[in-house]
Structure 1
Amino acid sequence: MFNHRTTPTKNYTPLRNSVLQDHRLTYAARGLLADLLSRKNGTKVDIKGLSSACPDTQQAIAKGYAELVKYGYVVRRRVKNPDTGKITTEIHVYDVPQVAEAPEADLSLITPSLSSPSLGSPSPFPSGEKTGETNPPSHTPPAPKAAEPEPKVPGGRLAEIIEEETPETAQCVQILAGLGRRYEQLHLGRREMSTLIPMVAEWLRRGATAAHIYQVMGAGLPPKVNSPKAFLTYRLGDKLPVPPVLAEQASAPVAALPTCPECARPGLVEGVCADCSGRRTAPAPAVSGTQLSALEQMRRDSERARAAFKASYA
């Protein structure tokens, strides 16, 4: 490649090679920066006006402008007029990055005033005209904000329950962690385990083993569990085993009923039953045929009366 340059005497803009060769910028951003530096101080520019003077779209120019803001070539400053109180935005364009990776949102509201010399007056726009200055105007970057202390995580004491060195707690944590390893739907976090430890401990006190808990918690497990903590809370409470004392009472053998020594039939009281001792009352006398025919006649008369009564309301 061979370069052919001329020596301009007017209407030119000096640019540093570091600007034209800044590999962080796209070629569109470098060209936009050169265009902005070639304009006079006080020129009003916006994305729409720049896009009307070139084939690039507004989106392309906005993207290049965002790169210049990001790498410190363009700084936007909101200035409040002390006399009128009106707030305006000034765009300062530099040929040297002022603040590397400076986000536009961090620029604070600046109110120039004679009583606050530390703020200073806005730096002039660099231009292509010869001013006799050897160093370009510089911009003092804002002081970095003090690092804010990290907020305390709520429920820290709740999570510390898991770290208590007790054999029972350690066993409960091991069982809950084992559930997450066996069933991925039941994976629990550290704080979630802390509320389930007392429930698992109650299972262990009632004689349940780790294998029993795994079997009951994983029985009929759906393919997706939205809240493992809520699922285990319900199942640990709903499937809680019977206390050992009640289980022993339920498994105790039932006392046999007393039997009659004569006929060996079970009864409610000990000794000879009523049939064998002759204490049972005699059976009722049999009904004669005349009495049976009278009862049958009464039953038929009742059915006819009932049918007539229903027919009257039909």
Structure 2
Amino acid sequence: MRIHLSARKRAFTVLGNEVLRDRRLSFTARGILAFLLSLPDGAREDVRTLADKNPGLGRRGVAKAVEELIELGYYVRRTVRDEETGQVQTETYVFDTPQPAGAPFPVPAGTGEAEAGKAGAFPKGNKNPEEEPPTPAPAGRAGEEASMVDDTGRAAALLARLGTAEPKLTLGTAEALALAPLAAPWLERGLSELEIRNLLTAGLPPTVHSPRALLADRLIRKLPAPRTRRDAAAPAAPLAECGECRDPLPRGQQSSICAACAGVAALSGPAAVGGMGHVTDHVAALRAVLRGRRVLPTAHA
């Protein structure tokens, strides 16, 4: 099975693998728990509203799954009495880690007057619960922070994909996000994903007990030095051409006519001894060399 995780910068929920893999819970209970933890703080859900959103499960199935969550401490109900009105109401708490019996409850964030609402409703002010408000366009310091967040998201996605190439380095979403700040400098230094993957997966031990610890060490220890920008070499100037035959002239020659056209070609060795026939052949060979068509012969038969 190949797992593919998309890099998310907004509208996501972070859950530990121990929650989603708690075998004491049925898959139905795990799914309901994940759904409840994805809701904004203050949302109101109960067995009836959950059953209405999952017709195939029914209230009995939802109630059974919620009882599993209550038994293990993921879902806690508390009955309180309003001191002013004397009314009794039930408060519900959902946790991503099991709570022992009798554990103290979190202190409410504010002391303002509670707002009444229907079960299944989202907190006031969120007109469209399916979509979060768009992030404003970054400017100045905010733009730099947004760029850092973007690099961190790309780094987390890259680390999450490592397990596809090397199963020994498979990471969970929370682990990839935790290591993302260490991987972001690799992207900032211009390394491609293939280069990073090769550096991180090269020379792995036969058994990797903690992919997160191993990658944290390698991301720090193997971070390449910043790449220096090399200016492109200036192209070589084209060879000047003979004003008569248009053949290329040797570099550094001051005259605008080649030696053959000027009739002053100086030859030495076998070509000078062999007469005019050899002189003509040698001149033709020189032209071919300058044109890049053939290799100058070293001797004549």
Which range, TM-score by smaller chain?
Answer: 0.3 to 0.5
In the superposition, the TM-score normalised over structure 1's length comes to 0.32
**Higher Rg:** 1
In the superposition, the TM-score normalised over structure 2's length comes to 0.34
Higher relative contact order, chain-length normalized (CA < 8 Å, sep 6+): 2
